[in-house]
Amino acid sequence: MPDGYNLRIWKYICKKVFLCKKACYVRKLTVASNAPCIELNDGNKMPVVALGTGRGTATESAPVDEVRHSVYWAIEAGYRHIDTAAIYFDEPQVGQGIADAIANNLVTREELFITTKLWNDKHRREQVVPALKESLKKLGLDYVDLYLIHFPISVKEDGSPDNVDYLETWQGMEDARELGLTRSIGVSNFNTTQIDRLIANSKVRPAVNQVEVNPTNTQERLVTHCQERGVAVMAYSPFGFLVSRKNPDAPPPRVDDPVLVEMANKYKKTTSQIVLRYLIDRGLAPIPKSTNKKRIAQNIDLFDFSLTPEEVQQINKFNKNVRVIHPKFWKDYPNYPFWE
Ligand SMILES: NC(=O)c1ccc[n+]([C@@H]2O[C@H](COP(=O)([O-])OP(=O)(O)OC[C@H]3O[C@@H](n4cnc5c(N)ncnc54)[C@H](OP(=O)(O)O)[C@@H]3O)[C@@H](O)[C@H]2O)c1
């Protein structure tokens, strides 16, 4: 039997072993529900489902805690990829959610994949690294996994059009990557012409193009174009008009669409899960946004079924080339991407 002093040491060791076992157990559970990854053209691995955090209710002057909770719930539910942007004004809340999850042993930083984006008023080469450093400070991180040019257009600080070539911006992105501030670099909202011009004139090929893809805006040409060039596609606004968009004239499908309901019944899933799986089965990485704990969990419960190629085609037939995100106010700005 240990004497008094040794007994205290013995109890201390037992407590440490118990806590360590508990932490490993928690980690095992969450890692087990991890989403699979897409291998990017630079060798980095990007988890296929990302939690969307844009369109929360945060503003620059009024941040809210809902994003902090959603990030935590998402990591708890098995997400390893979080999507944010400087313009969402929620990087501090995203960072707090990540810090909470790490502090509670749900994950390590290395197990997470964090994407953020450069806003349009920071497109000069010398502005890119400082802009990313500012995002990192807000996120409380040393590096992000993916940094994207949010739009190919550039604006002045007052929002009026500027004329910075995105090739110049890309040089700043390459600088950021060389400094180790981001593991991968990519773009968002680039059309096929812009993707080709970027590839033809840069040292580092974009790893990702993040664009809108959903059943009413299937983007088959753009998606194939990117995938053929080794550029992975992240799908934003993945639900399209399935969910309430305050637009009664928006084209189908809605949540109760008979085609989707039939597939949902077949696979014992919801119609929103069918739409997310449709995107995954096209090789895309959807970014569902939710601040609701139950829906966050539902939106990653996608890996025990898959659609047949015929079912993917059936959903493609909803296409009307109608966008959820259509910033027409920029249509006369240089490099406006949505003409194609
Ligand atoms: N690169 C870009 O230019 C760009 C542009 C737009 C968006 N994005 C990114 O993509 C993310 C997603 O896009 P989004 O926010 O436009 O659209 P979305 O994810 O297609 O839709 C979000 C809406 O769907 C609801 N919802 C979520 N899960 C649901 C479910 N299982 N069933 C029913 N309703 C559900 C959400 O409400 P609750 O929160 O109440 O669940 C919210 O109202 C953004 O958050 C952002 O990260 C990028």
**Amino acid, single-letter form, for residue 66:** E
Please, are residues 66 and 96 in contact by the beta-carbon 8 Å criterion? Answer: no
Q: What pLDDT, on the 0 to 100 scale, is given for residue 56?
A: 52
| Residue 326 annotated in ligand binding | no
Residue 285 has pLDDT above 80, yes or no: yes
Q: Which of 94, 53, 89 is nearest to 72 (CA)?
A: 94
CATH topology of domain 26-323: TIM Barrel (3.20.20)
How wide is the angle at C-alpha 141 spanned by C-alphas 139 and 145, nearest 5°? 100
How does DSSP assign 183-225, residue by residue? EEEEEES--HHHHHHHHHT-SSPPSEEEEE-BTTB--HHHHHH
299 lines ligand 1 (CB under 6 A): yes
Domain map (residue ranges) of the chain: 26-323
Confidence class of residue 243 from pLDDT cuts 50, 70 and 90?
confident
**187-223 per-position pLDDT tens digit:** 999 999 999 999 999 999 999 999 999 999 999 999 9
State the first-to-last Cα distance of the chain, in angstroms, to the nearest integer: 80
Active site residue 12: no
Confidence class of residue 27 from pLDDT cuts 50, 70 and 90?
very low
Count of beta carbons in the 10 Å neighbourhood of residue 43? 9
**72-90 per-position pLDDT tens digit:** 999 999 999 999 999 999 9
295 lines ligand 1 (CB under 6 A): yes
**28-53 per-position pLDDT tens digit:** 333 334 679 999 999 999 999 999 99
Mean pLDDT of all residues belonging to the chain: 90
Written as six digits, the tokens of 228 are 């053929």
**98-154 per-position pLDDT tens digit:** 999 999 999 999 999 999 999 999 999 999 999 999 999 999 999 999 999 999 999
The rounded Å distance from CA 286 to ligand 1 centre is: 10
